[in-house]
Amino acid sequence: MENVLKINSLSKRFGRIQAVDKLDLTVTKGQVFGILGPNGSGKTTTLGMILEVVAPGGGTFEWFSNVKAVEARKNIGSILETPSFYPYLTAVQNLRIAAHIKQCGTGRIETVLDLVGLIDRKDDKFKTYSLGMKQRLSIASALLSDPPVLILDEPTNGLDPQGIAEVRDLIKEIASQGKTIIMASHLLDEVQKVCTHFCVLRKGIKIHEGSVQDTLGEINRVEVASQDMEKLEKCLDSFPGLESVQKTGNSLFVALKPDFTSAEINDFCFKHGIVLKKLVTQTNSLEKEFLKILKEHD
């Protein structure tokens, strides 16, 4: 895979505080990479260094296999702070100013406003926007030059549940276009639902790195139910991937042998004349794994 960002032993100290300590990290093209950790773990400092707004205390990083910093920066859209626009100007007017600063032209203003779901509010003043809309306008601004990489620092911080869902869906939509996204967050659920890969920082030290799928894995246990539960139970007795089955309430919880999946249960039941009304694969939560990772590094 093509490397977008490679970090080698990156460090930063503020007085007696070691904010980032010899961080090694690689982000490849197309990943949605989450930098996860509690407040004060070094997430924002790391983003500040790779965006060259914070001077590293040691180590190196390179974008796009050592493209010069000035050229690399043109291919990165970023949001590091709280959305900041002129309150009495409209979305279009604010984006025209942003386009002038970025020297990227105004041709994509309507496109990015449509992408972030603000096209119907494009002529409304920024001060009338909700927090979620303000954050979406920030993302629109970051996308003006159509960069292949987007960096987001706590993109849902301070938003209500609806705003969080809106921004999360927007990030997924942007990622589906093939862009690489690097985002810092302390919200486990956000990272689990949006990111493909992540690392965990604690007190500036990386204590875990991997793909979300590999870290969470899949518990080989499936909850199933049908109209005729007795017939379903008898059918599952002959399913070759059955490890064990347990009845709880109106459902059967099926433990599967290795390499068997819920899709195979569905096909097997259907071939035996049973239509499942419930088929739920049980998976780990990132919260559980995060606590386990922290405990392992106590």
**Spatial distance between the Cα atoms of 86 and 88, rounded to a whole number of angstroms:** 6
User: Side chain identity at 175, as an amino acid letter?
Assistant: A
3-state secondary structure of 137: helix
193-197, 210-214, 253-257, 288-292 — most confident range: 193-197
Same domain, 15 and 67: yes
pLDDT in tens, 2-41: 899 999 999 999 999 999 999 999 999 999 999 998 888 9
- For residue 295, is it within any domain? no
Same domain, 231 and 165: no
Same domain, 202 and 253: no
Same domain, 90 and 205: yes
Would the pTM count as exceeding 0.85?
no
The CATH number for 242's domain is: 3.30.70.100
- For residue 68, is it within any domain? yes
Same domain, 177 and 262: no
**Spatial distance between the Cα atoms of 35 and 47, rounded to a whole number of angstroms:** 9
Q: Please give the backbone phi and psi of residue 120, each rounded to the nearest 5 degrees, phi first.
A: -80, -15
* pLDDT value, residue 77: 94
CA dihedral 63, 66, 71, 73 (to 10 degrees): 20
Q: Which two tokens stand for residue 101?
A: 């600063």
**Per-residue pLDDT at 219 exceeds 70:** no
**Spatial distance between the Cα atoms of 284 and 212, rounded to a whole number of angstroms:** 11
Same domain, 241 and 193: no
Confidence of residue 295 (pLDDT cuts 50, 70, 90): confident
**Per-residue pLDDT at 284 exceeds 80:** no
Let me know: does 151 contact 61? Beta carbons within 8 Å. no
Same domain, 119 and 229: no
3-state secondary structure of 43: helix
**Per-residue pLDDT at 258 exceeds 80:** no
Q: Nearest-5° angle of CA 289, CA 215, CA 44?
A: 75
- For residue 161, is it within any domain? yes
Same domain, 123 and 137: yes
Owner of token pair 């302390």: 186
The CATH number for 72's domain is: 3.40.50.300
User: Side chain identity at 70, as an amino acid letter?
Assistant: V
**Per-residue pLDDT at 69 exceeds 80:** no
Same domain, 83 and 195: yes
* Strand residue runs (E) in 29-137: 32-36, 58-63, 76-79
Same domain, 163 and 271: no
- For residue 297, is it within any domain? no
Indicate the residue among 171, 190, 216 that finishes a domain: 216
Give me the count of residues in the chain: 298
Q: Please give the backbone phi and psi of residue 257, each rounded to the nearest 5 degrees, phi first.
A: -70, 160
Contacts of 178 (CB under 8 A, 6+ apart): 30, 148
**Helix-then-strand count for the chain, H and E:** 11, 13
Let me know: does 201 contact 35? Beta carbons within 8 Å. yes
Q: Please give the backbone phi and psi of residue 27, each rounded to the nearest 5 degrees, phi first.
A: -120, 130
**Per-residue pLDDT at 121 exceeds 90:** yes
3-state secondary structure of 67: coil
Mean pLDDT taken over the chain: 90
Dihedral sign, Cα of residue 48, residue 54, residue 55, residue 57:
negative
115: domain range? 3-216
- Which helix (DSSP H) or strand (DSSP E) does residue 166 occupy? helix 161-176
Same domain, 84 and 211: yes
